[in-house]
């Protein structure tokens, strides 16, 4: 087991969320479900997303997610950004600069590898132009960023 594991508190949807999340990424799986009684509802779900372990608990409505904690997804392509964005915003909410909240209120950053590359361009003018373009976006558009940076 990894030394540090992200622990997610849900009202009563831990198993549903874990099942959905594991459907989105390769190398993902539900590892274990602890139930209340033999056939009862899930209390704790252990799962992996892209090889990273998570724990999800049904703890009740006392706590909810905030954007102070988010899951950052390093995307290879615009197609990957588009696919994850569509699936994660279904029932959720689009935010600014590649951020969204899913249907359970968990915050995600769906970021293509091109974004940090453009924002750290050695040419400060290009980097600033990319930054300004990003600030006007919800879902990150690689082509739009490159055009704004003059590439």
Residue 1's pLDDT is what? 66
Q: Where are the domains of the chain?
A: 1-63, 65-151
Task: Give the pairing of strands 93-94 and 99-101.
Answer: antiparallel
Mean pLDDT of the chain: 95
Q: Could you report the per-residue pLDDT of 96-111, keeping only the tens digit for each?
A: 999 999 999 999 999 9
Q: Give the three-class secondary structure for 123.
A: coil
**Tokens for 100?**
């969204």
What pTM does this model have? 0.92
Q: Could you report the per-residue pLDDT of 22-60, keeping only the tens digit for each?
A: 999 999 999 999 998 777 788 999 999 999 999 999 999
* Interval 69-77 mean pLDDT: 97
Task: Return the CATH fold of 65-151.
Answer: 2,3-Dihydroxybiphenyl 1,2-Dioxygenase; domain 1 (3.10.180)
Q: How far is CA 4 from CA 1, 41, 54, 150, in A?
A: 9, 26, 9, 42
Can 1-63 and 65-151 be said to share one CATH topology?
A: yes
CATH superfamily placement of domain 1-63: 2,3-Dihydroxybiphenyl 1,2-Dioxygenase, domain 1 (3.10.180.10)
DSSP 85-116: HHHHHTTSEE-STTEEE-TTS-EEEEEETHHH
Residue 87's pLDDT is what? 98
């Amino acid at each position: 087991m990894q030394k540090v594991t992200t622990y997610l508190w849900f009202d009563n949807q831990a198993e549903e969320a874990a099942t959905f999340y594991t459907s989105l990424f390769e190398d993902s799986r539900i590892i274990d479900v602890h139930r209340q009684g033999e056939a009862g509802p899930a209390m704790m779900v252990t799962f992996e997303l892209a090889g990273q372990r998570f724990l999800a608990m049904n703890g009740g409505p006392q706590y909810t997610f905030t954007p102070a904690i988010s899951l950052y997804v390093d995307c290879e392509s615009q197609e990957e950004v588009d696919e994850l964005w569509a699936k994660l915003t279904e029932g959720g909410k689009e935010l600014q600069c590649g951020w969204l909240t899913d249907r359970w209120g968990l915050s995600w950053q769906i970021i293509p590898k091109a974004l940090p590359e453009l924002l750290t361009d050695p040419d400060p003018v290009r980097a600033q132009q990319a930054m300004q373009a990003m600030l006007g976006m919800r879902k990150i558009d690689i082509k739009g960023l490159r055009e704004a940076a003059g590439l």
